[in-house]
Amino acid sequence: MWDGAGRVCLLGAQAAVLAHGYGTPATVRTARVQLMEVLHATGRPARSPDEYNDRPTTREGDVHQLLDRAAARAARLGL
């Protein structure tokens, strides 16, 4: 979920944010749903955000773009 330099995958990032007192398990679930909605809507089906994150072809910029799109979608929905 994270390496020696402190870099984290999507699951590690969600766990770290929650462990530091931001959000609740419900907000984590909502965030994961938003990530999945964006993945499927953009033609990148995956069984989980973590599967997408761990693909050898997924780059850091891809993950940042996914997070930005999911955040924008959540804001549009008032979440």
How confident is the model over 25-71, as pLDDT tens digits? 898 889 999 999 999 999 998 999 989 988 888 888 898 999 999 99
Instruction: Tell me the three state secondary structure of residue 78.
Output: coil
- φ/ψ of 2, rounded to 5, equals -155, 160
b/e code 30-50 from CB counts within 10 Å (16+ = b): ebbebbbebbeeeeeebeebb
Which ranges of the chain would DSSP assign to H, the alpha helix?
A: 10-19, 25-41, 49-54, 60-76
- φ/ψ of 7, rounded to 5, equals -75, 145
The reply to whether the predicted model has a pTM over 0.85 is no
